Amino acid sequence: MFCRSCGRQLNDDAVFCNGCGLQLKVPEGAGVTAPMPPIVGGGPIAATKRSNTGLIVALAIVGVLVVGAAVTAGLYFTGVFDTAGVAASRTDEGTASSDKKALGDTKAGGTDEGTDATDDTAALGDDASYDVIAEHYGKLSDLADQVGRANTDGTYGGTGFAYEVFNASIGSADLGVRKTLVEKCQALLDTVSGQKQTLDDASVSAAYRPQKETLLGLYGLLEKRMNAMLGAAEAAVDDPSESAWRPILSPASTDSREQFEAQYPNAEPVRQ
């Protein structure tokens, strides 16, 4: 015989279909006759294919639901679900809150201003800061004289290292003189750079930081001028002809001197 539901071929004495599980016969004494559903879809073979497909899908869904329920229950009772789910969510929110607080602190004067506050704590007072600025303003004038000042009447020449030592030695036929000039240029450059570093390391108060930066810029112009002379002197060691070292010296040396002379008077310290 064939199953009335799925069309599977069965033994004549079968009570249940081993394909879809339909009860085919009612055991004796039950007093109830099993329903006889009609076969739809064109015969036993077609019905068998559709029923098997539906059964497989249904069993797969049921299996997934059962396994999912078991896993969820296990996680819940062991506390893993709360740790991985709810607890993690709270952790993320706490992190987000901390990030927002940190961002707010930064905007309101957090990390950067906190650093400034630390600097201010270690900084000199206003009176001491003014003394530092005034001291370096005077040192800059002395260094400018030492490096060299041009004649004020516009004639060629001047005073200081650039005119009295450098110009007199750069074209010397004596190689020893030119090598010594390199050493002298390096020594004076080191002096300028050392004074600049001393000012840079000074922790002046906030009120005097703009003036400090202005003086550091003036030190930088003296450094630029000395670097030009050092480069020209080094080139002259190999070739003392003016065409070998002049392009290195000019216009860097002249431009930096003129810029220094124009900016220096306006950098005079002002008490805050």
Q: Are residues 202 and 142 in the same domain?
A: yes
Classify residue 272: in a domain, yes or no: no
| Residue of 23 and 251 predicted with greater confidence | 251
Per-residue pLDDT tens digits for 97-148? 344 444 444 444 444 444 443 445 578 999 999 999 999 999 999 999 999 9
Q: Are residues 136 and 177 in the same domain?
A: yes
Q: Are residues 256 and 165 in the same domain?
A: yes
Q: Are residues 250 and 165 in the same domain?
A: yes
Classify residue 190: in a domain, yes or no: yes
For 47-62, give one letter per residue: b (16+ CB within 10 A) or e. bbeebeeeeeeeeeee
- For residue 149, the cross-strand partners are 159
Q: H or E stretch including 252?
A: helix 252-263
Q: Are residues 135 and 234 in the same domain?
A: yes
Q: Are residues 159 and 209 in the same domain?
A: yes
The type of residue at 247 is: P
Q: Are residues 208 and 142 in the same domain?
A: yes
Classify residue 57: in a domain, yes or no: yes
Q: Show which of 13, 48, 78 is a domain's final residue.
A: 78
Per-residue pLDDT tens digits for 156-195? 899 999 999 999 999 999 999 999 999 999 999 999 999 9
Q: Provide the residue range defining the domain that includes 107.
A: 82-122
Classify residue 173: in a domain, yes or no: yes
Beta strands in 71-172 (DSSP E): 149-150, 158-159
Q: Are residues 74 and 13 in the same domain?
A: yes
Contacts of 256 (CB under 8 A, 6+ apart): 221, 222, 224, 225, 228
Q: Are residues 2 and 60 in the same domain?
A: yes
The count of domains in the chain is: 3
Q: Are residues 22 and 143 in the same domain?
A: no
Q: Are residues 110 and 18 in the same domain?
A: no
Alpha-carbon distance of 76 to 210, in angstroms, equals 64
Classify residue 87: in a domain, yes or no: yes
Q: Are residues 45 and 89 in the same domain?
A: no
